[in-house]
């Protein structure tokens, strides 16, 4: 069945047959099959993050990552780049082909590709009100998101989990677990009805901060974040209310008077996830980083604290981002002496910290 016929057939099937829990198997103790997420370290690539930046993924990024020894690319994407909020049955096959090409690049360069819906039909952590219906309120949005993921499941059916996994939904907000889990279950079961063995990543609740319990499917990973203390990582970020935050220092003291170093980050951000890990579920830090206005020396100390903690926890990570305001290429920091590198401005000190982590993780 070609993709166009599959899309048409999927629409009919979803309308006619509600998903039940019959596809559930195993217990929460089941590990993701044949794949170790602790080894995955890399970056978020943003070519399809916004509709107005809808470009093919760049081979140069995969080439550079492989050259340095990184092996993971998370693709946080808006469905607007291949779909239409006014017609959830529409799929732009040219864009879908570009996403397939990114997975091919990953296979070529030895980089695992993790496909993420940063904006799904009915939900986005940024400007979610722009959606015509809401994923955690309206069944029509659940059906649409399930359909979109089923199309992706068909696209990559038979492709090893070593090469591609699915991260269903970026950063659910403060959504009660009794609301979140039934919605996610319908989407998971849609994916598994097409590709039963696909490894699925679920972002934690409260913007990725909190582990999710009760979503008991095999072959699943949960994704957390590395943005706390938030007043350090998002200092002067225009999309958050940060105008009155003090200039970050290290150790960092937040507005409540709490002091943060590696030990406090461990207690606040690692320990709560260890209960989930005890069930056999792997944890991966799918996003982390520091916005460009935090002083560079403070940024590097924060990097050291997180990387040390994640080595101790045996977690992999994906920095937001490779190129841009949080990354080490073209970040636009005023307090960095950049090095010219293949037409980019390279923050060598930040890169060296990440490379050191790769080396120390080999032991």
pLDDT of residue 274: 98
CATH classification code of 227-346? 3.20.20.80
- DSSP E strands, the chain: 41-44, 72-78, 112-120, 123-124, 164-167, 200-203, 220-226, 252-253, 259-260, 282-288, 316-319, 339-341, 344-346
pLDDT score for 326: 98
pLDDT average, residue stretch 157-176: 97
31: pLDDT strictly greater than 60: no
Residues 110-164 pLDDT 10s = 999 999 999 999 999 999 999 999 999 999 999 999 999 999 999 999 999 999 9
User: Is the Cβ–Cβ distance between 316 and 37 less than 8 Å?
Assistant: yes
CATH of domain 1-22+80-99+114-225: 3.20.20.80
Contact 225, 287 (CB under 8 A): yes
The per-residue pLDDT of the chain, averaged, comes to 93
Distance of CA 280 to the CA centre of its chain: 20
Mean predicted confidence (pLDDT) in 166-182 = 97
Reduced to 3 states (helix: H, G, I; strand: E, B; else coil), residue 120 is strand
> What confidence category does residue 12 fall into, taking pLDDT thresholds of 50, 70 and 90?
low
With 0-12 / 13-18 / 19 or more C-beta atoms within 10 angstroms meaning exposed / middle / buried, residue 273 is buried
CB-based contact 95:48 (threshold 8 Å): yes
**What pLDDT score was predicted for residue 24?**
36
Work out the pLDDT band at 7, boundaries 50, 70, 90.
confident
pLDDT tens, position by position, 313-337: 999 999 999 999 999 999 999 999 9
Q: Are 35 and 199 in contact (CB under 8 A)?
A: yes
Q: Residue 202 — φ and ψ, nearest 5°?
A: -120, 125
- For the chain, give every domain's residue range: 1-22+80-99+114-225, 227-346
Averaged pLDDT, 65-71: 98
Task: Extract the tokens encoding 353.
Answer: 């910290």
177-223 confidence digits (pLDDT tens): 999 999 999 999 999 999 999 999 999 999 999 999 999 899 999 99
> For 23-27, 37-41, 198-202, which range has the lowest pLDDT when averaged over its residues?
23-27
Least trusted range by pLDDT, from 33-47, 104-118, 274-288:
33-47
Interior/surface letters 238-258, b for 16+ CB within 10 angstroms, e for the rest:
eeeeeeebeebebebbbeeee
- pLDDT value at position 4? 65
Does the pLDDT value for residue 3 go beyond 90? no
Q: Given a cut of 50, is residue 308 above it in pLDDT? A: yes
pLDDT at site 243: 85
């Amino acid at each position: 069945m070609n993709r166009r016929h599959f899309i048409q057939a999927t629409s009919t099937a979803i309308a006619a047959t509600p998903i039940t829990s019959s596809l559930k198997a195993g217990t929460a103790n089941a590990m993701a099959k044949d794949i170790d997420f602790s080894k995955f370290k890399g970056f978020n690539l943003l070519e399809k993050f916004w509709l107005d930046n809808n470009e093919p993924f760049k081979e140069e990024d995969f080439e550079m990552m492989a050259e340095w020894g990184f092996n993971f690319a998370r693709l946080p994407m808006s469905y607007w780049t291949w779909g239409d909020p006014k017609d959830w049955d529409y799929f732009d096959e040219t864009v879908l082909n570009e996403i397939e090409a990114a997975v091919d690049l990953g296979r070529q360069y030895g980089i695992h590709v993790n496909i993420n819906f940063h904006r799904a039909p009915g939900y986005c952590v940024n400007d979610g009100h722009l959606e015509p219906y809401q994923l955690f309120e309206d069944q029509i949005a659940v059906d649409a998101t399930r359909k979109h993921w089923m199309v992706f499941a068909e696209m990559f059916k038979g492709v090893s989990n070593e090469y591609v996994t699915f991260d269903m939904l970026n950063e659910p907000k403060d959504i009660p677990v009794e609301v979140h889990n039934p919605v996610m279950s319908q989407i998971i079961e849609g994916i598994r009805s097409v590709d039963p063995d696909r490894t699925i990543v679920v972002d934690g609740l409260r913007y990725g901060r909190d582990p999710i319990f009760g979503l008991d499917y095999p072959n699943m990973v949960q994704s957390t974040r590395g943005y706390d203390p938030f007043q350090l990582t998002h200092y002067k970020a225009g999309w958050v209310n940060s105008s009155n935050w003090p200039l970050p220092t290290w150790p960092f003291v937040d507005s409540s008077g709490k002091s943060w170093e590696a030990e406090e980050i461990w207690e606040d951000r690692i320990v709560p996830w260890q209960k989930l890990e005890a069930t056999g579920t792997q944890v991966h830090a799918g996003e982390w980083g520091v916005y460009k206005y935090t002083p560079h020396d403070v940024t590097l100390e924060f990097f050291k604290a997180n990387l040390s903690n994640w080595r101790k926890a045996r977690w992999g990570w994906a920095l937001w981002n490779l190129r841009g305001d949080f990354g080490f290429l073209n970040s636009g920091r005023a307090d960095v002496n950049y090095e010219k590198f293949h037409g980019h401005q390279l923050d060598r000190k930040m890169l060296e910290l990440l490379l050191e982590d790769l080396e120390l993780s080999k032991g």
